[in-house]
Each structure stands twice: as structure tokens, then as C-alpha cells.
Chains A and B, each alone.
Chain A
């Protein structure tokens, strides 16, 4: 590849990124004046859910490990970042929008470390057994926060500076998308995919199985932690109940419903699982019956998830080039 074409490629990418950020910011401004705050909230929650689903998709969908503890990593990110910005303010800095961004990033890094710790038992465990360990781990994390008075215990944390918005959530979501997209199309990504199909064969091909399991756990947890941080700084309030077992299950549902291993499927699943309960509010308490019913119907009609292993654009015939 010659240098000028590389430069042109870089320029093109930089332009696309700049335009994307400008559009995001514009939409953000429009939403603030134009749209009912309730709808804005649903849209932002979709974005947070999409980050969670994209990250869990790496473990459950691509590496073929069954994790049921995503809420735990989300909690780590949320509590670490919120502690930085609220309980233990390191000067004014962490109160500013930029500081909140830094705090959320730190939350993601700490969550990655937690993911590394959970990734270790995954070397020996498979399927249901791994699911139980991850579930236990996330409950442990939740109970820890429940019993630390400094972070509010059962009352939760109040007064977290609200600095994440549509703009920041979707910027992170886009970053997560690009990250996982590039990862899965790299040699390392294919090695992770190979794990899912046949671990022994992957090992015999020279793929370092244990390394990749732990790495995918850490990467996935990092983004779960970031989603947690965004969540905390959007709601302005967190308590241990926000990160209980049912949230982990919801994320698993998003991934399974959308289609295991498909990025667009994960996003679609996140949107469906977030919007559907909201749109059913007219049925009042019946929605608690209708929502699972819809999920069961969807799984019966499309047992491999809405998109299966494929990406959404693979369903449309490609235009001739």
C-alpha cells in the first residue's frame, strides 16, 4: 500500500468520525428541545442496553461461554465511577463533564479487572457450571456494595452529577460497535469465534484457548462497566437493586433474542427488550404477562434469534458493484 492512499484512507475515516460526532451532537440538541423527556429517556436507555448487549455478545455469542453475571460488571463500573464523582471528589475535576468521562473510563478499567478474575474459573468450567459461577460472582459484587456504608448501602447513592446524555451514550455505543466489529474481523477475533465451534480443534491449531477466554471476559466486562458508568451518570442515582440478577438475565435475553454472535442482532435485541415493555404500558400490569409471551413467541418463530448468526444487511440482496 502506498503512503498517499493510506493518508487518504485516514482522512476519509477522520471525516466520517467528525461528521458522525457532529450529527450525534445535533440530534442531542434537537432531542433536548423537541422531544418529550420520557421518549428521550427510552432512547438513551436503548443506547446503554446496546452497549451491554454488544459486550455480552462477545462472551456468550462469539466465544461460546455462558455468562450470567453481566449486571455485576455493570455495577462495578457504575459504583467506581459514581464514587469518584460523588463520594470522593478529587477536587472539582470529576464534577465537570470531562471528569465524568474520565471517571466512567476508570470504571470500565476496574470492571475489566473484575472480568479478568471471573475469566479465570472459566478456564475449567463450561456451560451451566460457568453460568452458575458468573451468577454467584455478580451477586457477590452486589452484596458487597449493599454492605458498604460509604456508597450508601441499601439506600443507594444520590446526587451523582448528571453528565451523560444521548450524545455520550451513543458515542460510547458507536465506539463499542467499532471496537467489536474490528476485533471480530481480525485474526484474534477469528480465534475467539473458533473457540465457540470447537475448543479442541482451536487448541490443536495453535490458538491459546485460556488466553482468549480471559481476554474476552475482560474486554466484555470493560464495556459493561462503561455502560454502568453511563447509567449512573444518566440516572443520577444508583442502588444495589439496579444491578440484580434480573438485569443480567435481561442482557442475556437481548443477545439470545437478537441472534448469538451477530452485532446488529445484539443492538436489535437491546432495542426490542428496552422498548417493548415501555410500549406495553397501556396494558398496565398485564404487560408483565404480555412481554414474556412475546419473547416466547419470538423464540418459537425464530429459534436462532431474530437475526441468527448473521448481520442485518446480509438479509438484503447485495447490489451489483
Chain B
């Protein structure tokens, strides 16, 4: 469904990704783990065209999307939950969701679906989003991305700054979203949790893929456990 071929990207003169190859199949949940500065977030930003790659191609459903603008990519069915959530703090929860569905014609059924996923959002619909707790903001960010009806959901560190219990809830929901047929590419520091809910994983190191394989394999690999899972 999504394929990155020889991606090179960076900021200014600083190169971050050096010839990265990556693939996500339809219906899969794929985790992208690695140390700080490995380039995980840059991968997602390149896919959704927030930055332009210097070389290489991004293929989505077999078509090259690396020349498209960000809003065109959303229309193709690719939705990005940015790092630190990026909610619109001065808009209400409901308005945030409306902007999320900006490319779609939303009906009340769409809102019902996300409210079932995260009931707390229904209670807070009229509250301004900046007043939500970190966990609720993450739920809002995910719901907002879902309202553009993505085929592929890009999640950047959904567990950032959240309590373990809330993280667990978020990960359960991600599993549920994936079981309903949405493909997920998940970037995480919390490698344990990410490997648990994903089928395959990539380990990034300074802009290159260091290991790739099924999540079970990676969990079992001693070297990786020592280097990335902190054991």
C-alpha cells in the first residue's frame, strides 16, 4: 500500500534520512522504532509531504505521491497525527473534529463513530480543546485524523507524555482501529508497547533501516532487546 524507495530528506543542510526503504502492506500495523534523532518523525513528515524528499519516491497505492501537496495527500486517504498532537487549542473539541473532516462531507454518523471510540470527547464537545488533559488531547488528535476517512493512518508518538494507563487505552484503541480495516504506521519511543500491537517493525538508526522484520522476531532478538528495548 505504501512504499518508500531510497528516500533522502533533511532540514536545511542537515541530512536526516539517507536512502531509506520501507513498506507497509494493506491492513497491516507497522511500527517504526529507534532512538531520538533516528529520523522516525522525519519519515512521517516526508510521507505526508510536510517536507520534500531530496531523492527517492513515496508510492501510495502504486502511485508516486512525492510531488503532491499536503492537502492533496489527505484527499488520497492518508492522515497524519502529528507529534505533540497539534490540536487547535482555541477551537472547541467539536470544531477540531470538523476541521479534521475538512476534506470529507461529514454526517452525524461519523461523529457518532469517534464518540463511541472515545466517549469522553462527546462530554467535552463544546469545551475548547486547550483545556483537555494530555490523554484527551491525544484521543482528540486521533479522532480528528480518523474523520478524514484515511486508508492509512500515520501516528507519531501517541504515548508522548501520557500516564501508563492512558497509554494502554490509546494502544487498545489503535488495535481496534486497525481491526476495522485501517492500515497503521506507528512511530513510537515506547518500543515494547509498539511491538506488541504491530505485526511488523522497522528499527531506524541515523536515517537508515537497521533491522526489519516481524514484531515477534524483533522482540526475541537479543541484540535488539539490549540496544533498543532497554534490557
Q: Which residues of A contact B (CB under 8 A)?
A: 187, 190-191, 193-194, 196-198, 200-209, 261, 309
B95 part of interface (Cβ distance < 8 Å): yes
Extra 19 A-B pairs, beta carbons < 8 Å, given A193-B90, A204-B81: A191-B99, A193-B95, A194-B91, A194-B99, A197-B90, A197-B91, A201-B88, A203-B70, A203-B71, A204-B48, A204-B50, A204-B80, A204-B145, A205-B99, A205-B145, A207-B71, A208-B71, A261-B90, A309-B90
Complex interface: chain B residues within 8 A of A203 (CB): 50, 70-71
Q: In the complex the two chains form, is B91's CB within 8 Å of A200's CB?
A: no
Interface flags, B24-48, vs A, CB<8A=1, else 0: 0000000000000000000000001
Complex interface: chain B residues within 8 A of A190 (CB): 91, 95, 98-99, 102
Q: In the complex the two chains form, is A196's CB within 8 Å of B71's CB?
A: no
B148 part of interface (Cβ distance < 8 Å): yes
A selection of 15 A-B contacts at a CB cut-off of 8 Å is A191-B99, A194-B88, A194-B96, A197-B87, A198-B87, A200-B50, A201-B87, A201-B88, A202-B99, A204-B74, A204-B80, A205-B103, A205-B145, A209-B71, A309-B90
Chain A minimum-CB-distance residue to B103 = A206
* Chain A nearest Cβ from B96, distance in angstroms: 8
| Known contacts A203-B70, A204-B80, A206-B103; is-contact A197 B98 (Cβ 8 Å) | no
Question: B124-164: which have CB < 8 Å to A?
Answer: 141, 144-145, 148
* Chain A nearest Cβ from B126, distance in angstroms: 12
Other-chain contact of A206, B71, B87, B88, B91 (Cβ < 8 Å)? B71
Measured in the bound complex, the distance between the Cα atoms of B99 and A191 in whole Å is 6
Other-chain contact of A204, B75, B86, B95 (Cβ < 8 Å)? B86
B189 part of interface (Cβ distance < 8 Å): no
| Known contacts A200-B82, A203-B71, A206-B103; is-contact A193 B88 (Cβ 8 Å) | yes
Chain A minimum-CB-distance residue to B70 = A203
Measured in the bound complex, the distance between the Cα atoms of B79 and A207 in whole Å is 12
Chain B minimum-CB-distance residue to A203 = B70
Other-chain contact of A207, B50, B82, B85, B102 (Cβ < 8 Å)? B102
Chain B minimum-CB-distance residue to A197 = B88
Q: In the complex the two chains form, is B86's CB within 8 Å of A200's CB?
A: yes
* Chain A nearest Cβ from B47, distance in angstroms: 11
Q: In the complex the two chains form, is A196's CB within 8 Å of B50's CB?
A: no
User: In the complex, which range does the number of interface residues on chain B fall in?
Assistant: 20 to 34
Measured in the bound complex, the distance between the Cα atoms of B87 and A261 in whole Å is 18
B69 part of interface (Cβ distance < 8 Å): yes
Interface centre among B71, B100, B103 (most CB of A within 10 A): B71
Measured in the bound complex, the distance between the Cα atoms of B99 and A208 in whole Å is 12
Q: Which residues of B contact A (CB under 8 A)?
A: 48, 50, 69-71, 74-75, 79-82, 85-91, 95-96, 98-100, 102-103, 141, 144-145, 148
Chain A minimum-CB-distance residue to B144 = A205
| Known contacts A206-B74, A207-B99; is-contact A201 B86 (Cβ 8 Å) | yes
Measured in the bound complex, the distance between the Cα atoms of B75 and A206 in whole Å is 7
Q: In the complex the two chains form, is A208's CB within 8 Å of B69's CB?
A: yes
Q: In the complex the two chains form, is A205's CB within 8 Å of B95's CB?
A: no
Measured in the bound complex, the distance between the Cα atoms of B87 and A200 in whole Å is 10
* Chain A nearest Cβ from B9, distance in angstroms: 16
Measured in the bound complex, the distance between the Cα atoms of B88 and A206 in whole Å is 14
Complex interface: chain B residues within 8 A of A193 (CB): 88, 90-91, 95, 99
Measured in the bound complex, the distance between the Cα atoms of B186 and A23 in whole Å is 61
Other-chain contact of B82, A194, A201, A208, A261 (Cβ < 8 Å)? A201
| Known contacts A197-B91, A201-B87, A205-B74; is-contact A187 B69 (Cβ 8 Å) | no
Complex interface: chain A residues within 8 A of B148 (CB): 205-206
Chain A minimum-CB-distance residue to B86 = A201
Measured in the bound complex, the distance between the Cα atoms of B89 and A201 in whole Å is 11
* Chain A nearest Cβ from B185, distance in angstroms: 14
Interface centre among A194, A203, A204 (most CB of B within 10 A): A204
Complex interface: chain A residues within 8 A of B96 (CB): 194
Measured in the bound complex, the distance between the Cα atoms of B52 and A17 in whole Å is 51
Measured in the bound complex, the distance between the Cα atoms of B89 and A261 in whole Å is 13
Complex interface: chain B residues within 8 A of A206 (CB): 70-71, 74-75, 102-103, 148
Measured in the bound complex, the distance between the Cα atoms of B148 and A209 in whole Å is 17
Q: In the complex the two chains form, is A187's CB within 8 Å of B98's CB?
A: yes
Chain A minimum-CB-distance residue to B75 = A206
* Chain B nearest Cβ from A269, distance in angstroms: 18
Complex interface: chain B residues within 8 A of A209 (CB): 70-71
Measured in the bound complex, the distance between the Cα atoms of B100 and A205 in whole Å is 5
Measured in the bound complex, the distance between the Cα atoms of B21 and A308 in whole Å is 49
Measured in the bound complex, the distance between the Cα atoms of B144 and A201 in whole Å is 10
Complex interface: chain A residues within 8 A of B99 (CB): 190-191, 193-194, 202, 205, 207
